[in-house]
Amino acid sequence: MFIIKLIVTMVIILVSVSKKLNIGLSLLLGSLSFILLNGATPLMFFKVIWATLMEFESVNLALAIGFITILGYLMDQYQLMNRMIISLESILGSVKATIVLAPALIGTLLVSGGALMSCPVINSLGDKINMSNVHRAASNLVFRHALYFVFPLSTTMIIAAQIGGYDLFEFIKIQFPMAIVFCLLGYFFYVRPYASNHLSQTSEQVDAMFIRTSNPLIQLINFTLYASPIIVSLLATLVFKLPFSLACVLGIIDSILIHQLDRGKKADDEPLWLSLKKGLKPLMILSVFGIMVFKNTLSAFPELYSQMGDIVELGIPIEVIIILCTAILSFTLASIQPSIAILYPLILPMAVDDHMKLRLAMFIYTSGFVFYYISPLHLCQVLTVEYFGIDTKALYKQYKLILPAVYVTMLAVYVITR
């Protein structure tokens, strides 16, 4: 039975990842295992790989992911992100507002464990309002990860849209309520209880690469300038409908141009070719390739989808199947992507129309997110707990209301949009 063989394949993938094998390699191993378990030859495995390499969508996706990681590295290396945050502080003049926005902005760098980058910022701002360490940690995680629902340059969002075959921005619309609830409750529980304060506009907030002024107009210009690689990438995609890969190239070029004109540029900066090399993350591209190969492997066995339909006809709600599978995959592997890679190809083809496909995609994505978020292997959480020196149990207590609220919001959207 195909479903039993799929479960065996999932176990192989889970064990492989638990042994620290790259998720892409683990999915390739899973693809080969599934093919062999179904009596096909290894030749079929190589045919699927070749077909994936020949797909324009797969190549475009791999390029987009590679360029996004380069863009994130350049913005960090050239201090664009740091200066963007400093400008934001001056514009807002509010500790609370900056606590909410800083992790989200830094989160656009999309690096594994990147929450550690915003920890010093949150720690410094938390000192100004005497914020508890557990609330600093919770704020750092919540406001960073709200992006997972709506940021169109997120690698996870791009991969999900590619595998699901739906419009990314239509998906963002249906996901938006979860992001709003996540942020509002995060502010209400972790930031609002503290006394208001304002940032002092001193020259210490501005490094040598800035015009030393508290003029909000100048700071707005600074912010727009240093955020422009992200802005350019988003506008190229949203307004001009360019492919993500090309949009990110424009962002990279913008970063390089800003750096070349930078008054504070150091003479000993590393060569551009070295920055591009360091920014490229081959293992992340391999992960994307593994996901696409696994998707195409499942698609090569149409009997699998008919058996999934048979299970649903037995009376097992598809929603229960999603919850159980995402709990196993995303909690165990501390990632949304395995849930997307395995469940999207299995469940989304059962949708009767595009609207139903979006609703099921949202259900899988949000379920995967919640279980990923609370996983003890979640790297952002591990690093944040370590940085602020708090007990993990104390942090988990902060989730007891906010995560159920996010999930209930998703269920409400799922029901209302039926």
3-class SS string, the chain: CHHHHHHHHHHHHHHHHHCCCCHHHHHHHHHHHHHHHCCCCHHHHHHHHHHHHHCHHHHHHHHHHHHHHHHHHHHHHCCHHHHHHHHHHHHHCCHHHHHHHHHHHHHCCCCCCCHHHHHHHHHHHHHHCCCCHHHHHHHHHHHHHHHHHCCCCCHHHHHHHHHHCCCHHHHHHHHHHHHHHHHHHHHHHHHCCCCCCCCCCCHHHCCCCCCCCCCHHHHHHHHHHHHHHHHHHHHHHHCCCCCHHHHHHHHHHHHHHHHHCCCCCCCCCCCHHHHHHHHCCHHHHHHHHHHHHHHHHHHCCHHHHHHHHHHHHCCCCHHHHHHHHHHHHHHHHCCCHHHHHHHHHHHHHHCCCHHHHHHHHHHHHHHHHHHHHCCCCCHHHHHHHHHHCCCHHHHHHCHHHHHHHHHHHHHHHHHHCC
Residue with tokens 């045919």: 47
- How many domains in the chain? 1
pLDDT at 324: 87
pLDDT at 264: 63
Query: From residue 202, how far is each of 92, 122, 208, 212 by CA, in Å?
Result: 14, 19, 13, 9
Structure-token pair, residue 178: 């979860």
213: region left, alpha or beta (phi > 0 left; psi from -120 to 50 alpha): beta
Pairwise CA distance, residues 201 & 215, whole Å: 9
pLDDT at 411: 96
Please give the model's pTM, rounded to 2 decimal places: 0.72
pLDDT at 201: 43
Phi and psi at 55, nearest 5°, equal -75, 130
Structure-token pair, residue 257: 């141009």
Encode the chain (418 residues) as per-residue pLDDT tens digits.
Answer: 677 887 888 888 878 877 878 778 888 998 999 899 988 888 999 999 999 998 887 887 788 778 877 887 888 788 887 787 778 777 877 788 888 888 887 777 655 555 666 777 788 788 888 899 999 999 999 998 998 899 887 888 988 998 898 999 999 999 999 999 999 999 999 999 988 655 544 334 444 444 445 677 888 888 888 888 878 887 887 778 787 788 889 989 999 999 888 766 665 678 888 888 888 888 878 877 887 888 788 778 877 667 766 776 777 888 998 998 888 888 877 789 888 988 898 899 888 889 999 999 999 999 999 999 988 767 788 778 878 888 888 888 999 999 999 999 999 999 998 8
pLDDT at 184: 95
**Residues in contact with 56: Cβ distance below 8 Å, sequence separation at least 6, in sequence order:** none
**Could you write out the three-class secondary structure of 83-135?**
HHHHHHHHHHCCHHHHHHHHHHHHHCCCCCCCHHHHHHHHHHHHHHCCCCHHH
Alpha-carbon Rg for the chain in angstroms: 22
Is-contact 249 119, C-beta < 8 A?
Answer: no
pLDDT at 415: 94
Structure-token pair, residue 170: 């239509």
Q: Which domain holds residue 195?
A: 2-416
Q: How many other C-beta atoms can be found within 10 angstroms of the C-beta atom of residue 229?
A: 28
